[in-house]
């Protein structure tokens, strides 16, 4: 009796587009059931192509695929083209613009990596969501431990990516807090400096105002004294003779 398992899931994701290399926005992995089936949900951008690889396929393995295409906006069914190539890049099958497709009971003839591509280059504006399911049937002597080890490694890679992203966010927050604290400290010191300067200017203005007021009062007293001195001079008298 043969056991179902995944020869190993898609380690490499290639997305090619005429205008650049868009990234797949969503990739969901559901844990395998007893049959070791894997299901993926991902987005293929307009005028783009998403390619996956089934790695280390052995002869006598049997590949089964099923996919469905939906709109990423309203959920209605759309179409997409799918192709499979063997390790020597020879075309195994091509399904043109299908809303839902199957390719089952393909017996692996050559060992290596098999490429599965979903082509959306003919769509100018529509981004499409692909629900994709794959399983590989092998003999009963398949190395399940190696498969589980690779799955665990993939889980660790995802964990490392998320940890790195969280670490970067924490560093950004920490840097922002440090900058805010430095800005607050600088503002506080600047305010203290400006306050001391204002108090010094106020004291200087008070001193100069008092000095000028005293000077004005002194000049006023001097002017009054000088003016009074003019009225203390007695006029000279002369002898006048009266004529009769």
Distance CA 177, CA 155 (A): 33
Residue 138: DSSP 8-state:
E
**The pLDDT value given to residue 116:** 93
- Asked if residue 210 is part of any domain, the answer here is no
**How many distinct structural domains can be found in the chain?**
1
- Asked if residue 233 is part of any domain, the answer here is no
Distance CA 41, CA 125 (A): 20
Tokens at residue 212, please?
A: 């000028």
Distance CA 131, CA 41 (A): 5
Residue 19: DSSP 8-state:
T
Nearest to 143 by CA among 37, 54, 38, 58: 58
Mind listing the pLDDT tens digit for each residue in 103-133?
999 999 999 999 999 999 888 888 899 998 8
Q: Which residues are within 8 A (CB) of 15 and not within 5 positions of it... i.e. 6 or more apart? A: 21, 22, 23, 24, 44, 45, 48, 49, 50, 51
- Asked if residue 86 is part of any domain, the answer here is yes
**The pLDDT value given to residue 190:** 77
Element (H, E) at 188: helix 144-229
- Asked if residue 70 is part of any domain, the answer here is yes
- Which residues of the chain are modeled with pLDDT < 70? 1-38, 139-147, 232-244
- Asked if residue 242 is part of any domain, the answer here is no
Nearest to 132 by CA among 206, 52, 240: 52
**The pLDDT value given to residue 75:** 80
- Asked if residue 82 is part of any domain, the answer here is yes
Which residues constitute the domain of residue 80? Answer: 3-142
Q: How many helices (H) and strands (E) does the chain have?
A: 1, 11
Write the secondary structure of 22-50 as one string of H (helix), E (strand) and C (coil): CCCCCEEECCCCCCCCEEEEEEECCCEEE
**The pLDDT value given to residue 95:** 93
- Asked if residue 106 is part of any domain, the answer here is yes
Nearest to 36 by CA among 178, 146, 114, 128: 146
Nearest to 116 by CA among 36, 47, 14: 14
Whichever domain contains 128, its CATH number is: 2.60.120.680
- Asked if residue 186 is part of any domain, the answer here is no
Stated pTM of the model: 0.46
Beta-strand relationship, 80-85 and 13-17: unpaired
Q: Which residues are within 8 A (CB) of 94 and not within 5 positions of it... i.e. 6 or more apart? A: 81, 82, 83
């Amino acid at each position: 009796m043969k056991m179902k398992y995944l020869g190993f899931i898609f380690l490499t994701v290639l997305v090619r587009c005429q205008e650049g290399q868009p990234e797949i926005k969503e990739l969901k992995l559901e844990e395998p059931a007893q049959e070791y089936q894997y299901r993926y949900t991902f987005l293929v951008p307009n005028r783009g192509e998403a390619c996956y690889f089934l790695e280390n396929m052995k002869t006598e393995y049997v590949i089964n695929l099923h996919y469905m295409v939906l709109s990423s906006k309203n959920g209605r069914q759309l179409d997409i083209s799918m192709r499979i190539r063997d390790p020597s890049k020879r075309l195994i099958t091509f399904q043109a613009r299908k809303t839902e497709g199957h390719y089952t009971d393909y017996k692996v003839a050559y060992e290596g990596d098999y490429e599965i591509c979903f082509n959306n280059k003919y769509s100018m504006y529509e981004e499409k969501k692909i629900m994709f399911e794959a399983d590989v049937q092998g003999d009963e002597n398949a190395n399940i431990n190696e498969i589980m080890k690779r799955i665990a490694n993939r889980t660790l890679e995802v964990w490392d990516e998320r940890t790195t992203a969280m670490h970067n966010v924490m560093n950004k927050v920490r840097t922002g807090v440090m900058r805010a604290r430095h800005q607050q400290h600088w503002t506080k010191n600047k305010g203290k400096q400006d306050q001391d300067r204002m108090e010094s200017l106020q004291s200087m203005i008070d001193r100069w105002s008092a000095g000028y007021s005293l000077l004005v009062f002194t000049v006023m007293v001097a002017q009054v004294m000088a003016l009074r001195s003019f009225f203390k001079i007695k006029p000279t008298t002369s002898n006048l003779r009266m004529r009769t």
